[in-house]
Amino acid sequence: MIIPINLGEKSYEIVLERGAIGKAGRLLGVSGDRKVLIVTDSGVPEEYVDAVARSFKKKNIFIFPQGEESKNFETYRQICETLMDLSYTRKDAVVAVGGGVTGDMAGFAAATYMRGIDFYNIPTTLLSQVDSSIGGKTAIDVGKIKNIIGAFHQPKKVIIDPDVLSTLTERHFINGLAEALKAGIIMDAKLFEIFEKGEAKERIDEVIERSLMVKKKVVEEDEKETGLRKVLNFGHTIGHGIEASVPFGELYHGECVALGMIPVCGDKIKSRVISAIEKTGLPISHPIDKESVRKALSHDKKSDSEGITAVICNEIGTFEFVNTSTDELMKLI
């Protein structure tokens, strides 16, 4: 299946197809005279990287240590240095093969190397397939502040192959479901029902497709997050606060988003959302140090001098923007 993302001259296609990774080179349509730097991390099974590498004529592979800790200036510097050392030019390209960390890192390097070269994304975690690989957001963390340095840089094409999810750990698979559940809560009641029935795992192709359609709709209307796109931050403001307040790796991004969604659901739907989160296998509570969360919330880039724009949901499939403050959000936790 081809899902077009319509963004004028920055338009691109998502190929959603089982088995697609084996024909990545052909599907991406990168001509043989161009060099591609395949960026991946140490946890992505070699077979996927090899399959992608085999399908390109002129390629190099850059592997960095897996984990959020690598989404930093040092890895960014190393990718850029590799591109320089191997004499990559504006006509060459970067291809990410991995999860959201790889996509964000590789995308940011592609966005800034020589003021921007082509970027292709082959997401291999569920989180990156349903969310982070489309929309063009790329970034690195600085210390514990997530995604604080970044750029909008749309990929030229995205290949999503659900077969690669078979090697993901159970926890990473469930982690990815959080972003799909988020899409259902705010914009797709039918998608939410899949979670409510506890059928997300068995109906994963449908979950991926429906989540992508939500993201497509939002990104096409508001590419640079000046309005509607803020809806995708549902659960993320508090979620990022929680993520920054716990030791690295204790909670995954999706788990924090799940925890962050609960306080911003209205009373009418809260118990349904909690039940869906539980059925999915995501956490509904976690011990946190409230002061650290508060500190992280006030650093969050979604807050400005007039307060924080929070996304609230009172009815499944709908959302509201509410201007609030760190103090008000803290009261909800």
Ligand X SMILES: NC(=O)c1ccc[n+]([C@@H]2O[C@H](COP(=O)([O-])OP(=O)(O)OC[C@H]3O[C@@H](n4cnc5c(N)ncnc54)[C@H](O)[C@@H]3O)[C@@H](O)[C@H]2O)c1
Which are the catalytic amino acids? 115, 137, 179, 215, 225, 229, 233, 236, 240, 253
Shortest CB 241 distance to ligand X, Å: 14
The C-alpha atoms of residue 210 and residue 205 are separated, in whole angstroms, by 9
Shortest CB 232 distance to ligand X, Å: 8
Shortest CB 184 distance to ligand X, Å: 16
Between 133 and 269, name the residue whose CB sits nearer to ligand X.
133
Helices (H), 169-325: 170-187, 189-196, 204-221, 236-245, 253-261, 267-280, 290-299
Shortest CB 126 distance to ligand X, Å: 8
- Quick check: 128 binds ligand X (CB under 6 A)? yes
Contact with ligand X (CB under 6 A): which of 147, 154, 211, 237?
A: 147
Between 35 and 236, name the residue whose CB sits nearer to ligand X.
236
CB 17 within 8 A of CB 1: yes
- Quick check: 66 binds ligand X (CB under 6 A)? yes
The C-alpha atoms of residue 326 and residue 295 are separated, in whole angstroms, by 9
- Quick check: 101 binds ligand X (CB under 6 A)? yes
SS3 call for 118: strand
DSSP 6: -
The C-alpha atoms of residue 256 and residue 18 are separated, in whole angstroms, by 29
Between 52 and 101, name the residue whose CB sits nearer to ligand X.
101
Q: Edge-to-edge strands of the sheet including 320-324?
A: 303-304, 307-312, 320-324
DSSP 167: G
Contact with ligand X (CB under 6 A): which of 60, 78, 82, 167?
A: 167
Shortest CB 268 distance to ligand X, Å: 27
Cα-Cα-Cα-Cα dihedral of 23, 38, 169, 4, to 10°? -60
SS3 call for 139: strand
Show contacts with ligand X in window 198-257 (CB under 6 A): 253
- Quick check: 297 binds ligand X (CB under 6 A)? no
Contact with ligand X (CB under 6 A): which of 44, 310, 311, 329?
A: 44
DSSP 130: I
Total residues at the site for ligand X (CB under 6 A)?
A: 30
Q: Which stretch binds ligand X (CB under 6 A): 51-59, 66-74, 192-200, 293-301?
A: 66-74
CB 172 within 8 A of CB 120: no
Cβ count within 10 A of residue 323:
10
- Quick check: 23 binds ligand X (CB under 6 A)? no
Burial of 272 (0-12, 13-18, 19+ CB in 10 A): middle
Contact with ligand X (CB under 6 A): which of 59, 137, 153, 210?
A: 137
Residues that bind ligand X in the complex, under the rule CB under 6 A: 41, 43-45, 66-68, 71, 98-102, 104, 124-125, 127-128, 131-132, 135, 137, 146-147, 164, 167-168, 172, 175, 253
